[in-house]
Amino acid sequence: MDLRSRQFASLYRHEISNGQLRSNLSKATLQAVDKRAQSFQEVDFPFLQKEARNIKREAISNLNELLSRFEDNARRNGCKIFYAQTPEKANAYILGVAQKFGARTAVKSKSMVTEEIGVVPFLAKYGIEAVETDLGEYIVQLAGESPSHITTPAIHKSRTEISRLFHEKIGTELNDDPAFLTAEARRVLREKFLSADLGISGANFLIAETGDVVIVENEGNARLSTSAVKVHVVVTGIEKVISNFSDLRIFMRLLGRSSTGQKLTSYVSLLRGPKGEDETDGPEEVHIVLLDNGRSNLLGTEHQEVLHCIRCGACLNVCPVYRSIGGHAYGSVYPGPIGSLVTPLYFGNENAPDLPFASSLCGNCTEVCPVGIEIHHQLLAMRHEIKSKSGTSVERFIFKNYRKTMLRPGRYRLMSKVVRALARTSLLRLLMRGWYPYRETPQFPPRSFREMYKSGEIK
């Protein structure tokens, strides 16, 4: 994964000054928020959220056991299982499978984990073309970009921009009608489906009791990528496993509504292994790569609940920071509030030290999260961890004394007088120079509430 979070400050400045981008984002995210709200009118969201949270908590607490049950059942179904500790190991395994089948072209359906391991550029180095077949992913691949959103990869592009892109890259006429653009993408991608040997997909859920791989989607491209090929490789995180179909029912009611405002996505595929001897369709081999990449380090920590995420993207749509800068500014394949947690947790704080601070802590993300992850509390905890290790001595001094001040009324009264006096000079501005360029100057009243109350000025 291309981690550029160190450059977050310069990336967000660049993105925030792009008026077209902000307008595209604002339109698309507001529409998504509206659709989500409408679709939840007919179900009891708090009840489903609580159920989903409990199911995920149970599943992640018993991850080892569920994974081993899934593994046994999937092997029984004829799948081959590979546990990958790192992206490098996952990529090497996928390459081995591709070479065994002599694959030159792969069709890939949307999957954040495949973005995380960077499988497309990796295979390209070995002469294997991996084509994105989800429309949004196909658009960003043509543009040479990474996805800007977890569920809507090309959310940052307008119809006109996409039309221009198709004209330049695949020679279509300039026409920004969505039906026309979709038909053109379909025309190109059908050829790829017919010529590909290898199909790569992610998974939304893994069912331990049966070994099924569950994929939800709207375009049917995942079905083609997993069935019209000789070999299918599923690449997914170890945290996707749940116990049984009864648990899946809860997520099916939440996922579509949270991501696109749909009761259910157009396709829900349950894949159970390679084609049988008497079957004509389906892959000859199915491989399941289960990626760890830092996930197991979260077990037993206060960040364990981050593993509950079902990647619906709802927290991105309601985040005022994401809505202003889009996904690319995060410098990670996982943008938005959940990306600001996942990126430093999977790749180390040192690789994304700014991301937990890319939040207003308004709590919108926590409110909409279908699995009830307390995202803004998690972000706050991450800030604490980062600053307690890397904060400057001035910051440590300020926060230590701030705490003492807030605990002692006499000290609080004295300090509020000192700060008001400083605010009348340029000294406060000088002391807090890191604060002022980005925020409005707080206006301090000449006298405190207590003084005014005592003097009878306010009653």
Binding positions for ligand SF4, rule: CB under 6 A:
150, 258, 309-315, 338, 368-371, 373, 375
Nearer to ligand SF4, 198 or 369 (CB): 369
Nearer to ligand SF4, 36 or 108 (CB): 36
Residue 137 CB, shortest distance to ligand SF4, in Å, is 17
Residue 400 CB, shortest distance to ligand SF4, in Å, is 33
Residue 114 CB, shortest distance to ligand SF4, in Å, is 17
Nearer to ligand SF4, 35 or 75 (CB): 35
Nearer to ligand SF4, 227 or 304 (CB): 304
Contacts of 258 (CB under 8 A, 6+ apart): 36, 312, 313, 314, 368, 370
Integer Cα distance of 119 and 121 in angstroms: 6
Residue 315 CB, shortest distance to ligand SF4, in Å, is 3
Nearer to ligand SF4, 283 or 370 (CB): 370
Nearer to ligand SF4, 156 or 232 (CB): 156
Residue 360 CB, shortest distance to ligand SF4, in Å, is 16
Q: What is the CA radius of gyration of the chain?
A: 25
Residue 218 CB, shortest distance to ligand SF4, in Å, is 17
Nearer to ligand SF4, 198 or 368 (CB): 368
Integer Cα distance of 27 and 268 in angstroms: 28
Residue 375 CB, shortest distance to ligand SF4, in Å, is 6
What angle do the packed helices 45-61 and 245-260 form, to 10 degrees?
120
Evaluate whether 342 touches 305 at the Cβ level (below 8 Å): no
Nearer to ligand SF4, 286 or 371 (CB): 371
Residue 64 CB, shortest distance to ligand SF4, in Å, is 23
Nearer to ligand SF4, 153 or 199 (CB): 153
Whole-angstrom CA distances from 155 to 28, 146, 147, 190, 349 are 7, 11, 9, 24, 28
User: Could you please report the per-residue DSSP string of 345-386?
Assistant: HHH-GGGSTTGGGS----SHHHHH-TT---HHHHHHHHHHHH
Evaluate whether 338 touches 372 at the Cβ level (below 8 Å): no
End-to-end Cα spacing for the chain = 60
Structure tokens at 14: 């660049």
| Residue (of 199, 188, 163) closest to 178 by Cα position | 163
Residue 383 CB, shortest distance to ligand SF4, in Å, is 17
Question: Can you name the residues that pair with 235 across neighbouring β-strands?
Answer: 289
Count how many Cα atoms sit within 13 Å of the Cα of residue 414 in the half-sphere of its side chain. 9
One-letter amino acid of 203: A
How far is Cα of residue 132 from the mean position of the Cα atoms in its chain? 18
